[in-house]
């Protein structure tokens, strides 16, 4: 296939190639054979005896000198950021590595040395304008940047593609205009990816996914073309609605952001309140279960105690009754003030002598006591 001036070659549009009207670009310029012969003859005449006339021996020396010069013209150098592409009568033969190399002199073989390590850039939807007075400015190209989304909205997308050459022979011979092809493929891939997505994720959180999808689609397409290039990065520069509706769209975005903020605040409040309510409910439930277990255990203990007492009662009823009576009196009168009166004194008519409650004066006010707490007679 033909290629442009940057790649060079025997079939290019410019004056190059072994059959073109001039030397081939991209490699060392081959010398003009007739001019070399003429200059060699002129220099040789100055060294020949007899006024510069050529005899048989002089012709041989001239031919040898010209042959040496012609063979030496096959040396060429490939820089560290280049690859050498050798053509034999215009047909690709081999790729040479950086350093000093040799090929058969022109017109048998020629060598091209395209750069393969420098990263190149293609902008789509915008143009960088260098102005010495105003500096660098960007100009929007609407016919490239306006794209249709999957939900039938229009979005303005500016992006850049970074690429480098990986195979010099493919790059030179398989694609006529590599940079133009990469630009066309990148625009087509971006339109396809944008057409599969809706406008909202495109404008907000799907930028990285879009860049990766466009990168993979471009690399796949260029590999099918055998272009010999590698896409290193796809970088979105600007993703906005069209300029005619951008103000209204920003108002909608602000309202949507407010709605999301309120929703997030409500969700935060719910995340705080719900666990607290669940914790209190669990606490109440655990307390109820503990109270139930305590009540059941106490009831079972009282029932067991009653059964044990009842068993002892059946064995000795009088002893058990008296024991129960004494335990009850001990429990009732254990924490009370008591007055014990001798029954014999009361029987002789002595009665009860009133007394001053000195003990209660030291203790201060007491809670009202139930009637019968202090007995004046008849106590046991």
pLDDT in tens, 129-154: 777 777 677 777 888 888 888 888 88
pLDDT in tens, 258-270: 898 999 999 999 8
Residue 350 lies in a domain: no
Number of domains in the chain: 3
Ordered alpha helix ranges (H), 316-338: 317-333
DSSP-derived pairing of the beta strands 99-102 and 75-78: antiparallel
Same domain, 157 and 207: yes
Specify whether 145 is located in the same domain as 63.
Answer: no
Domain identity same for 138 and 237: yes
> Sign of the C-alpha dihedral, residues 114, 117, 118, 123?
positive
Q: Is the pLDDT of residue 299 over 90?
A: yes
Structural contact between residues 105 and 73, judged by C-beta atoms closer than 8 angstroms: yes
Per-residue confidence (pLDDT) for residue 377, from 0 to 100: 41
Averaged pLDDT of the chain: 75
Whether 149 and 204 share a structural domain:
yes
Q: What is the pLDDT of residue 58?
A: 65
d(CA 145, CA 143): 6
Q: Is residue 2 part of a domain?
A: no
254 lies in the same domain as 309:
yes
Are 139 and 162 contained in the same domain? yes
Residues 128 and 221 in one domain: yes
Judgement on whether residues 220 and 273 belong to the same structural domain of the protein = no
Q: pLDDT, tens digit, for every residue of 327-369?
A: 888 888 877 776 666 666 555 555 666 666 656 665 555 555 5
Domain boundary among 318, 353, 370: 318
One domain for residues 167 and 227? yes
Against a cut of 0.85, is the pTM above it? no
Distance, CA of 217 to CA of 196 (rounded, Å): 13
128/206 same-domain check? yes
Which range marks the domain in which residue 132 is found? 120-243
CA distance 227 to 172: 8
* Residue 364 within any structural domain of the chain: no
């Amino acid at each position: 296939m033909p290629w442009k001036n940057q790649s060079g070659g025997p079939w290019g549009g410019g004056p190059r190639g072994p059959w073109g009207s001039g030397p081939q670009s991209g490699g060392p310029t081959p010398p003009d054979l007739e001019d070399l012969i003429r200059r060699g003859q002129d220099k040789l005449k100055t060294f020949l005896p007899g006024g510069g006339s050529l005899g048989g021996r002089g012709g041989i020396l001239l031919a040898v000198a010209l042959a040496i010069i012609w063979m030496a013209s096959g040396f060429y150098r490939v820089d560290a950021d280049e690859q050498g592409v050798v053509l034999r009568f215009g047909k690709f033969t081999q790729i040479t590595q950086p350093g000093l190399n040799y090929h058969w002199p022109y017109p048998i073989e020629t060598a091209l040395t395209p750069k393969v390590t420098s990263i190149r850039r293609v902008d789509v939807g915008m143009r960088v304008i260098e102005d010495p007075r105003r500096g660098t400015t960007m100009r929007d190209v609407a016919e490239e940047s306006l794209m249709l989304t999957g939900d039938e909205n229009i979005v303005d997308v500016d992006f850049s593609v970074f690429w480098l050459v990986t195979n010099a022979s493919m790059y030179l011979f398989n694609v006529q205009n590599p940079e133009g092809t990469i630009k066309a493929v990148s625009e087509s891939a971006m339109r396809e990816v944008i057409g599969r997505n809706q406008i909202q994720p495109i404008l907000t959180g799907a930028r990285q996914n879009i860049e990766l999808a466009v990168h993979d689609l471009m690399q796949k397409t260029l590999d099918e073309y055998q272009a010999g290039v590698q896409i290193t990065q796809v970088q979105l520069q600007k993703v906005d609605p069209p300029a005619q509706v951008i103000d209204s769209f920003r108002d909608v975005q602000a309202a949507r952001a407010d709605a999301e903020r309120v929703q997030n605040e409500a969700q935060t409040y719910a995340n705080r309140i719900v666990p607290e309510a669940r914790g209190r409910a669990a606490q109440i439930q655990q307390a109820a279960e503990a109270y139930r277990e305590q009540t059941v255990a106490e009831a079972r203990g009282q029932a067991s105690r009653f059964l044990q007492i009842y068993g002892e009662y059946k064995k000795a009823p009088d002893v058990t009754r008296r024991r129960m009576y004494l335990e009850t009196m001990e429990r009732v009168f254990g924490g009370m003030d008591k007055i014990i009166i001798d029954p014999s004194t009361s029987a002789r008519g002595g009665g009860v002598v009133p007394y001053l409650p000195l003990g209660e004066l030291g203790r201060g006010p007491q809670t009202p006591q139930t009637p019968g707490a202090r007995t004046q007679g008849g106590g046991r």
